[in-house]
Amino acid sequence: MSTHATRNHGIDVLRGLSILLVILHHTGLRIPLEHTWLGTWLPHRVLDALNYNGYEAVFVFFVISGFLIAYNALERWGSLQKIDVRAFYVRRLARIAPCLLLLVAVLSALHLGGFDDYVIHREGQSLPRAIVAALGLHLNWYEGHTGYLPGSWDVLWSLSIEEVFYLAFPIVCLLTRRAWVFAIVLVLLALSLPFTHAALVDNEIWQEKAYLPGMSAIAVGVLGALIAWHVRQSRQWMNIALCIAGAVGIASVMLMGREVWTLVHDAYLLILVISAACLILAMHWRKAAHASSRLPGTNWLQSFGRLSYEIYLTHMFVVFALVRLFKAAGGNIGLGYAWYAPIVLLCWLLGWLVARFISIPADRALRARLMKLPLNHGELVSTN
State percent of the chain over pLDDT 70: 95
| Tens digits of residue pLDDT in 250-285 | 999 999 999 999 999 999 999 999 999 999 999 999
- pLDDT tens-digit readout, 156-205: 999 999 999 999 999 999 999 888 899 999 999 999 999 999 998 888 89
Q: What is the pLDDT of residue 376?
A: 53
**Could you give the dihedral angle defined by the CA atoms of residues 184, 228, 92 and 347, in that order, rounded to the nearest 10 degrees?**
-120
How far is it, in rounded angstroms, from Cα 152 to Cα 118? 7
Question: For the chain, what's the residue count?
Answer: 384
Domain regions of the chain by residue span: 9-379
**Three-state SS across 117-139?**
HHCCCCCCCCHHHHHHHHHCCCH
Per-residue model confidence (pLDDT) at position 232: 85
Per-residue pLDDT, 384: 46
Q: By three-state DSSP, how is residue 52 classified?
A: coil
pLDDT of residue 325: 98
Distance CA 229, CA 288 (A): 11
Residue 95 pLDDT more than 50? yes
pLDDT at 154: 97
Q: CA–CA separation, 173 vs 176, rounded Å?
A: 6
Q: Is the pLDDT of residue 3 over 90?
A: no
Q: How far is CA 122 from CA 12, 119, 136, 147, 277, in A?
A: 38, 9, 20, 7, 38
Residue 148 burial (C-beta neighbours within 10 Å; 0-12, 13-18, 19+): middle
For 229-258, the pLDDT digits (tens) are 999 888 888 999 999 999 999 999 999 999
